[in-house]
Every structure is written in C-alpha cells, then in structure tokens.
Structure 1
Amino acid sequence: MGYSWIVDQGVPVVWHPWMSNRVLVPRHSFFIWLTVQNRLLTQDRLCKMKIIQENRCFLCGVDEENIEHLFFECCYAKKCLELVRIWLQVDIPVNLVLSWWVKKKMHSLLIKHILGAVIASLMYHLWQARNQSRIDHYVPRPERLIQCIRNEVLARVRGKSLILKSQLARVWIENCLSRVI
C-alpha cells in the first residue's frame, strides 16, 4: 500500500525518452537534462542574479535571451532548424520541437532515436555557438553547426553498429546521413 502511494504520486516527465536514447551522445543527454531543469545560465537568469545588467541574445543581438528564445524563437536557431528539416526531410514544427519528437509515431524506434539525437545535438551546438559568440564575438554560420551535428550523429550511428531490422529505417538512415548539406 505504501509503495503504490509513492508510485501514484509520480510526475510524468516528457523528456525521459531522451535519457534512454542509445544514439544520444552522453554530454548532450546531460545538457538536455540541464535545459529541462532550467539550469542553463542564460542571460535572463544572469540578470535575475544581478551578475549582468543587459539581457540580449548573443546570436541575434535583438531579443532578450532565455531558454525559449535561444532554442526556438531566435532567428539563428530557426535557420539552424530549417537546415535540419532540409537535411533530414522531416517537418519539425519550430515551436513544438520537443513535444513533436515525444509524440511522433514512427515505423522505427531507431529513427526516433536518431531524430532525438539530432535535436539534442542541435540544442547543444546552439548553446556552444551562443557561448562562442559571447566570448569570441563570433557567430558561426548555421551551415557549420549542421555539418558538425551531421558528423556527430553519423559517427555515433556507425560507432554503435546499430542493427537495422527495418528496410525502411535502413534506407532512411543511409539517405539522411549520406546527404550533403
């Protein structure tokens, strides 16, 4: 009875499937965990802590930086997501990336894992680009970020020697990963 009380009080977490993704790079998994826990030191949080006075996005230089802006609303992030859409030939809604991935029904769990790894890698590299622009005053081209993401995911898929049971999954993965951006 006590156990069922503890289990029933659990709060479902939408991002849990990301942590069990075998294609995901471990540092990206940790980064996603920090992001969903709202632990990234974005400009809005630094302003609230009175560490800085100005809250401006380092990637676009226009809007205030917070997690929502940085990953989903910033014109730089939108350009990167558009390049991912073109590369993977998948229609990912800009403002619902995470919920789209969780709810997306796919023929293959491996394809879902690869898409999750790409999204996590995109978010990680956006954060890295933000930090680079903050420190070096240089914003890398979105095409360069997508190339890094493609190379990471390709290396991860090949390095894991994942078994492709589905012919559809095999064809999709080979087409996406071999496609030049």
Structure 2
Amino acid sequence: MGWLMAREAMQVKEKLFALGICQDDTCLFCGNASESHKHLFVECLYSRRILMGMAKLCKISLPSGDVLQWVWQHKWSQAKKGVLLYSFMSCYYYIWKQRNRVRCEQVLLHPDVVVKQLQQVVKMRVDAVSNQILGIDRIWLSNTGLCK
C-alpha cells in the first residue's frame, strides 16, 4: 500500500469515475469534494482528524502537506523517523480501510474511534522494538501515547 500511496495509484473514486466504473466521484467521508488521492489522504476533514489525532499522540505538529515526505526529510534520528513513518502509514491504511468500509457496508466510525484503534496497533509494534530505542528518542517515546 505504501508503494501505491507514494505513486498516488490508489483506486480512488475520481479514477474509477473517469473509467466509468462508478456513478460519481464524491468523497465517501465528507460528501463535499471529489475523492481524489489528495483530498482523501490530505484534505478531507475526516482524514485530517485521524492524522491530527496521531500527531497529538506523537507530540508533533502536523504539516499541511504530505506527512510522510515531511517526516522523511525532517532531521530526526532513524528510530524516531521509523516510529513516525509507521504511525502515519498506519493512519493511511486505516483511512483506506474506513473508506472501503463506508463503500461496502455504509458504516463510518468516528475519527476518535479510529485513532484509538490506531493507537493500540502502533503501541504493539513500538513495544516490540522499544528496547532498541535509546537516549533522547526513548525520552520522546515515553512522552507519547505510543508506548505502554
């Protein structure tokens, strides 16, 4: 999924509509815009609330643009970048999962519920590698909502 995300190759409604596969290209979350890659993963209020929830857990400020590129280019240690990249890739996966759930089951979870689910998933992953995270990164991690 990361590869598809990086290449903006996810089959969002805008692409499906252009191919004649779906009736309209309206965002399934907000209903206010075309479901383009940028709208779904960056601009949509529903998705932003999930990303902002993760940023709050990570104790960082959310950039206005591409979160993954911003994390990658930031001058953080590899350990911190790894935790942040995993955290936000998980957000994108869950946004896509929720989008498909709305499309197939007409069920939309509140963004806060999604963030709680994400927190548990990320905690399990971070706990598995936390003994390898040392120094200032360990202090940062202990102040986030991403470890036990």
Fold equivalence (TM over 0.5): yes
d(CA) in 1 for partners of 2:4 and 2:66? 19
How far off is 1:51 after superposition?
A: 0.8
Moved over 6 A (4+): none
Q: Cα deviation per residue 1:66-108 (whole Å; 9 max; x = unaligned)? A: 11000001011111122122222201213231321121111x3
Q: Cα deviation per residue 1:85-136 (whole Å; 9 max; x = unaligned)? A: 2222201213231321121111x31111000001100001000111111111
- 1:50 aligns with 20
Matches within 5 A, 1:1-181: 31-106=1-76, 108-160=77-129, 162-166=131-135, 168-176=136-144, 177-178=146-147
User: Any gaps of 5 or more consecutive residues in structure 1?
Assistant: 1-30
Matched residues, number: 147
Contact 1:81 1:94 in 2 (8 A): no
Q: Cα deviation per residue 1:14-52 (whole Å; 9 max; x = unaligned)? A: xxxxxxxxxxxxxxxxx1111223331110111111111
Aligned letter for 1:40? M
d(CA) in 1 for partners of 2:83 and 2:68? 14
d(CA) in 2 for partners of 1:134 and 1:64? 15
Contact 1:80 1:146 in 2 (8 A): yes
d(CA) in 1 for partners of 2:143 and 2:105? 36
Relative to the length of structure 1, the TM-score reads 0.75
Q: Percent identity?
A: 27
d(CA) in 2 for partners of 1:41 and 1:85? 26
Indicate the SS of the match to 2:46.
Answer: helix
Indicate the SS of the match to 1:82.
Answer: helix
Aligned letter for 1:55? D
CA RMSD of aligned residues (A): 1.6
Aligned letter for 2:33? D
Indicate the SS of the match to 1:60.
Answer: coil
d(CA) in 1 for partners of 2:116 and 2:14? 29
The range that moved more, 34-43 or 48-57, is 34-43
Look at both structures and tell me which one has the larger radius of gyration over its CA atoms.
Answer: 1
